Structures are given as C-alpha cells and as structure tokens.
Structure 1
Amino acid sequence: MSEQNVNVPQGTNDLFRKITQGPGLVSLLGVIVALVVGGLLIAATDERVIATAGYLFARPTDFFSALWNAGTQSYVALFNGSIYNSSQGFAPFLETLTVSTPLICAGLGVALAFRAGLFNIGAQGQIIIGATMAGYVGFTWNLPIVLHLLLVIIFGLLGGAIWGGLVGVLKARTGAHEVILTIMFNYVALYLLDFLMNTEAFRRPGGTNPISPVLDSSAVFPSLPDSRLHLGFLMAILLTVFVAWLLKRSTLGFELRAVGHNPAAAQTAGVNVARATILAMALAGALAGAAGVAQVAGTEKVLTAGIAGSLGFDAITVALLGRSTPWGTFFAGLLFGAFRAGAVNMQISTGTPIDIVLVVQSLIVLFIAAPPLVKAIFGLNKSKKKRAVRAETTKAGV
C-alpha cells in the first residue's frame, strides 16, 4: 500500500483533489442532482406514471418506462425551447441569450456586493430606477443615434448607482443594516415608478394605461434580424470582464475583497472601510441599473410599471449559483435564462406546469448552498478521508 502511494506523483493527487473538491465541480453536481429531483417531481404528477403505479408489481416495466419518459420528455422540451430544435434551429438559443442579459447584469451587481461583505437585496429597486432614467432619456430626448444610446446607458447606470450608493452612504454613516435598507428602497422605487407612470411626463400621449411612449430608434440596442437578441448582451459580457478585472487586478477590488473578508483587519491595514462600502454599493447598483437598461432599451423598448418583473430577486439566486464570481455569475445567468426561455415550450409540449421550472431553480440553489450535502451524495467526502488516511499511513512508513 505504501509503495502505491509513493509511486503516485504528488502533483497528480493535488490536481485530482482540486477537481473533485473544487467549487466548480460541486456546483455542476448540485445542478445535476436538482435536475434529477425535479424530474422525479415531474414524473410524480404525470398521469401515465400514476396509472401504471396501480399495477407496479404486475408489470413494473410499464411504470419505470412511464417514469423515464415523463422526466426526459419534459427536459427535452425544455432543451428544444431554449437551445435548439429542428424547426427553428438555434433561434431558441438566441432567445436564451436575450433573457439571460438582464439576469447577468443584475447578478453581477449582487455578486460584487457579496464579495465586499454586503447583502445587496436591492437589485430590484436599482433595476427600476436605472430603467426609469434610461427610458426617460430614450423617449424624450432627440439626439444622434450613437450619442443617444450612449446617454441612455450612462443614465441607466447612473440611476442604479445613485440608488445603490444611497444605501452605501446610510450604511457607512449611520450603521443601518443594508438588508433592511435595500428592501425598503425596493418598495420606494416600485411605488415611485407607479406614480411616475401615471403622470403626463411618462405616460403615452392620448393614452390612459400606465405605459410610456416607445423609445426612439436611436435610443435602443440594435437587434439581430428575426430575433430579439440585441447588443445589450455584448454589454453584459463587457461588464463581466470589467468586474473580473476589478476584483482580481485593481487596487479598489483588493480593498473591496479585504473589507468583505474582515472589515476590522482591513481598517487596521489602512483601508477606508466607509469609502469601500459606499463604492461597493454604488458599483453594485450601477450593474443592476445596466439590467434596467437592457430591459427598457433592448427587450421591451417601452417603460412600464412591471419593467423589472422579478429580475432583482432572481439575480440573488444567480449570484448564489455563481458563487459570487463574475464568470460563475455569467454562466449561472445563462442557465437560468435557458430555464426561462424553455419553460413555455415545456408546458405547451408536455403539459408540465411552468412552475416546475421555479422548483428546479430553487432546488439548484438549495444544493449549491449545501456543498457538504452534494459531496456526501457523490461520496466525495469519503474520498477525501481515504486520501487523508493514506497520507498518514505513508508518513508513518506503513
């Protein structure tokens, strides 16, 4: 046994340990477990499965065949509605990218705040204010095409930054908890938009419904032909690159991460914790504001009271799934965008309730938030213990 341990290169053991114990693999396994459990829930409500369960012991193959078909057909329909199908080609994938764009932007805002030790529950309000300012610039100002769109983006980011920065200021100056502040700011933003949508400045002329004029063609993101995918997705990619650079390569990013790990130690090392808190929330708000820009200037092209939907709360889930890393959040946004884009086709094709997608999303978060549970399911903890025993045995010369 000792000879086998000696012959295995240490680098190989280290690489294996990084792969099997790394957060990336654990997240992937958590998604797989959630999909399996979700498939079982789908099957449990399938009429064919229920019918064959009545004579399970007489003809078990009927039951297990129905069980397999119920789960797989739903996920095949989900894939066809979000990635590829024979009639539309990759058009569903373009829709997935469209739906993912605001999720990625808002998720980055939540993730950045998490890395700074702040719980930004206010992405919803920041999206609303960003969309409100961007939309107003878009349908009231008449400017050249490039300048107009640029100002729409700038004002959207500025609106989110102001809304998030106010929370940072109150947190830094008064010690108020950011969770309470951001939740309250969500309500303020929501009802402020409701009020504005019933004023002449925001309501479409001649109409009574709370909907704004359509944004000028010079103020919206260009879209691909025969698709809703717009250049806002490129903005999401650039913001992901920016956040990754900010956290890993910049002095400010180092300060934010230091404050997130230990504010007292960061203060002792010379970091201005109050300044870092304000900047973190302002940047997080700006990123969430970018999601509002993507909605109003990319997907919807009008401002409505429901412009944010549930994006702000979904962004928290996306950031958690991405483990608060920029690229992890990016791919988590793509995954949740695929769920959203394919859910309708899944319901139409198989009759599976669209709410099951929300259940699967919740299960994913549950398993991602509990790495020891995922490791226990796949026996990764046992492998770790075995390696520890072998290491001790080798040191003892047995």
Structure 2
Amino acid sequence: MSDPGTMPPAQPKDRTSRGAAPSQSSVLQDMLSSTWLMTFAALVLALLFGGVLIAFADPDVQAAATYFFARPLDTLGAIWTSVSSAYVALFQGAVFDWDASSPARAIRPLTETLTISAPLILAGLGVGVGFRAGLFNIGGQGQITLGAVLAAWIGFSWNLPIGLHLVLALVGGAVGGAVWAAIAGVLKARTGAHEVIVTIMLNYIAVYATLYLITTSVFASPTPQVAKPVADTAMLPNLLGEPFRLHLGFVLALAAAAGVWWLMERSTLGFRFRAVGSNPHAARTAGISVATTTVLVMVVSGALTGLAGATQLLGTERNLTAAIAGSIGFDAITVALLGRSKPLGTVLAGILFGAFAAGGRLMQTRTGTPIDIVLVLQSLIVLFIAAPPLVRAVFRLPAPGQRRRSAVEAAA
C-alpha cells in the first residue's frame, strides 16, 4: 500500500482524449487527407441533393405532385425530366453543345469553362499552399483585389513594349497579393493574431480602398466606378481568336500548378511548409523557424492569389472595379478543399467549378432552373468535404485505417 500522506504523481493530460476539442491543424489535416473516393462521393452526394432542389423548383413537378397518390408515375416522370434536362443543359453549357448552329459555337462552352477556371486555379493553389502549412488564408478576395489594382496601374500608366509590359503587370499583381497577405503573416508570427480574422478584415479594407482609388485622378475614367482601361500591350493574348475568350492565363495557371508541385514536393522550402503544417512544435524542435515560415507561406499564398486577380483583369475584364474579384476568393477555398490542396487536384477542381459557372447560365436559359442552384451545389460540396464522417455514413465507407486494423486483428 502507498503512503497515505503522499500524493500520487500527476498524470500527463491526454491531448487526444475524447473530451478534447480538435485543433485547427488536425481538423484541416482530416479534410485534406481524405481519399479521392471520398471526394468523388461528396461530389455525387452534392449532385443528388442538387437534383432534389431542381425538382422542387420546377413548376411541372409541383403540378404533378398535387395528384401524386392518384398517378405517382406522372410525378416521378416529371422529376426525371426536370433533373435530367437541367444537368444535360449544364453539361452542354460547360463542355460541348451538340445543339449549336456551328462547330465554333459547339466547342465554345469548353473554352469558356477553361477561361473561367484560370483565376480559380491560381487562387486555389494559393489557398492550398496555406492549407498544407496549417494556415487558413481566407483573404483571397482582398489579395485578388490588390493584385488587380497594382496590375491595372502598371497596365494603363506605364508605356512599355509588348511582352515586357504584360510580364511586369503580372509581376505587379503577384506583388500586390503577396504584400497584402504578408500583413496577416507578420501579425500571426509576431502577435499570434488569428489569420482567419485578420484576412477577413483585410478583405473589407481592400474593397473599400479600391472604391476610393477608382475615384482618384490616377485611376478615374469617364465611366463612374470604373478605372482606366489597361493598354493592349499588357493584355493576355487570346489563344484561339474570336469568338473565343480563352487566353494565355489558363496556360499560366497550369505552369503555376507545376511550380507549386515542385515547391511543395521537391524543394527545401516546401518541406518546411509541410513540416510546420503537420506539427509546428516538432518543426520548431528540428530547428525550423515557425514564425519565418508562417510569413513566407502567406507571401507565397498571396502571390498566387494576387496573380489570379491580375489574370482576371488582364485576361477578360480590362477595367478595374471594386467587384473585380467577384466570388473567386471564396470559391478558391472550395477548389482547394475539393482538390485536397494538391496541384493536380486543384487544377481539376478549378475546371469543375469553371464548368459550373459556364454551364449554369445555359441551364437557366434552357430549363428555367435558377442559377442559384449552382451556388447551392458548390456550398454542398464544401459541406460534405468538411464532414467526412457524414459522407462515410451515407455510402457506408470504412473510416481511415479501419481495414488495416481489421486485418491486424484478424491476423492476431
């Protein structure tokens, strides 16, 4: 028996106990470590829920549902017609329109998908770099806006030869996004300020600062709330000519994806990023400066996102507005999650979301389906990717490591 006068030694707290709240890094790693099967299952589940919403919004389905118990096949047929026609129109508007009047119009949907996907891929790569380093860069909107501001200023105020002008405008966009993201990185490293809060606040500052800038004599044009147009020498060249809008920005996005793959998988700096994202305490013990790495991660992430803003401006928009970012910054978060923050996955996810945006317009025109359904699909994809246990429960998929544990127990 132990001496009643002595206290038993304190047991170390188990940080992984059932009652402990999961850390930010562990939640992010859980979402990013899901398999391609889980990602595909989340996409299928989102399309199924989207089909339900399409059916509910269709007037023919609503009319047939009034006498469902008398003639149930009419309702089921109306549901099938509504959902299938909507998704067929979505495909035709995003990939290939076999009802078009000419071959050029038939393949134009695919070029529109690739055009829309270029800034999404670049911004998704930027957000993905932050995710893999354990940082939530939610400031894509602000970084895209600041990147577009600097690219626009170089584009209309500098008189440079073709080629050099475009390169410097793109570099300016990357610098604008990098500087804006570095603010959050420095505050995170120096004061511990959470990057989510800081980047969200910087989004508002960027938008309202741009609203002010386009009213000044430097940016103002005869058109209210629109800046001066970018010179032709700074515009991204069109790859296919009229009537297509596909520009060199898509090739730039693919090159950036290859560069990010090399950075994260083959470089020493990328190893430091991943080490800090996996376990910052172990990385610090190994001699890696977590504070410096945090700033560098945000700089790289912001540079890619700012480059997305420059691509949007120099590829299709030409004129800077306060709404130049649209919803790209927030869509990039979904693109990065859907692509598991890997370059190839991000490219495919960006093309998929570009297809949603391009096909949604034709879906609304031909079938009367509200285009907001596309936004609901994107939101559902985020929901299901962020909740792997829910997807596994619906499709009865095994939990990570369950098969291996079962095999070990069976062998034992």
User: Which residue of the partner structure matches residue 212 of structure 1?
Assistant: 227
Q: Deviation digits for residues 111-160 of structure 1, max 9, x if unmatched? A: 11111111101111110110000011001111110110010111111111
User: Which residue of the partner structure matches residue 82 of structure 2?
Assistant: 70
4+ aligned runs moved over 3 Å, structure 1: 382-393
Q: How far apart are the structure 2 equivalents of 1:148 and 1:343?
A: 35
Q: Deviation digits for residues 220-250 of structure 1, max 9, x if unmatched? A: 0001212111001111101111111111111
User: Which residue of the partner structure matches residue 194 of structure 1?
Assistant: 211
> Does the Cα contact within 8 Å between 2:93 and 2:358 map onto a contact in 1?
yes
Say whether residues 1:27 and 2:44 are aligned partners.
Answer: no
- How many correspondences in the alignment? 373
Percent of pairs identical after alignment?
A: 55
> Does the Cα contact within 8 Å between 2:338 and 2:346 map onto a contact in 1?
yes
> Is the alpha carbon distance of 1:22 and 1:308 closer, same or farther for their aligned partners in structure 2, counting shifts above 3 Å?
closer
Unaligned runs of 5+ in 1: 1-20
Q: How does 1:295-374 map to 2 (within 5 A)?
A: 295-374=312-391
Q: Deviation digits for residues 27-51 of structure 1, max 9, x if unmatched? A: 0111011101100111012111112
Aligned partner of residue 106 in structure 2, secondary structure? coil
TM-score w.r.t. the length of structure 2 is 0.87
Q: CA deviation at 1:382?
A: 8.8
Q: CA deviation at 1:391?
A: 5.7
Q: How far apart are the structure 2 equivalents of 1:288 and 1:53?
A: 47
Q: Deviation digits for residues 334-356 of structure 1, max 9, x if unmatched? A: 11111111111111100111111
User: Which residue of the partner structure matches residue 295 of structure 2?
Assistant: 278
Q: How far apart are the structure 1 equivalents of 2:172 and 2:400?
A: 53
Q: How far apart are the structure 2 equivalents of 1:185 and 1:384?
A: 40
Q: CA deviation at 1:57?
A: 2.6
Q: CA deviation at 1:375?
A: 2.0
Q: Which has the higher helix share?
A: 1
User: Which residue of the partner structure matches residue 246 of structure 2?
Assistant: 229
TM-score w.r.t. the length of structure 1 is 0.90
Aligned partner of residue 398 in structure 2, secondary structure? helix
CA RMSD across the alignment = 1.8
- Amino acid aligned to 1:115: R
Q: Deviation digits for residues 171-191 of structure 1, max 9, x if unmatched? A: 111221111111111111111
Say whether residues 1:93 and 2:110 are aligned partners.
Answer: yes
Q: How far apart are the structure 2 equivalents of 1:234 and 1:245?
A: 17
> Is the alpha carbon distance of 1:243 and 1:389 closer, same or farther for their aligned partners in structure 2, counting shifts above 3 Å?
closer
Q: How far apart are the structure 2 equivalents of 1:382 and 1:275?
A: 36
> Does the Cα contact within 8 Å between 2:34 and 2:340 map onto a contact in 1?
no
Q: How does 1:283-298 map to 2 (within 5 A)?
A: 283-298=300-315
Tell me which of 56, 61, 66 is aligned to 1:44: 56
Q: Deviation digits for residues 327-373 of structure 1, max 9, x if unmatched? A: 21211111111111111111110011111111111111111122222
Tell me which of 260, 283, 307 is aligned to 1:243: 260
User: Which residue of the partner structure matches residue 166 of structure 2?
Assistant: 149
Tell me which of 251, 266, 275 is aligned to 2:283: 266
- Amino acid aligned to 1:155: G
> Does the Cα contact within 8 Å between 2:34 and 2:388 map onto a contact in 1?
no
> Is the alpha carbon distance of 1:134 and 1:377 closer, same or farther for their aligned partners in structure 2, counting shifts above 3 Å?
same
- Amino acid aligned to 1:180: I
Q: CA deviation at 1:58?
A: 2.3
Q: Deviation digits for residues 173-226 of structure 1, max 9, x if unmatched? A: 12211111111111111111111000111012xx15121222111100001212
Q: How far apart are the structure 2 equivalents of 1:104 and 1:59?
A: 48
Aligned partner of residue 251 in structure 2, secondary structure? helix
Aligned partner of residue 380 in structure 1, secondary structure? coil
User: Which residue of the partner structure matches residue 158 of structure 1?
Assistant: 175
Tell me which of 392, 409, 412 is aligned to 1:375: 392
Q: How far apart are the structure 1 equivalents of 2:280 and 2:378?
A: 33
Aligned partner of residue 163 in structure 2, secondary structure? helix
Q: How far apart are the structure 2 equivalents of 1:46 and 1:257?
A: 47
Tell me which of 132, 135, 142 is aligned to 2:152: 135
> Does the Cα contact within 8 Å between 2:265 and 2:271 map onto a contact in 1?
yes
- Amino acid aligned to 1:96: T
> Does the Cα contact within 8 Å between 2:64 and 2:78 map onto a contact in 1?
yes
Q: CA deviation at 1:385?
A: 6.1
Aligned partner of residue 158 in structure 1, secondary structure? helix
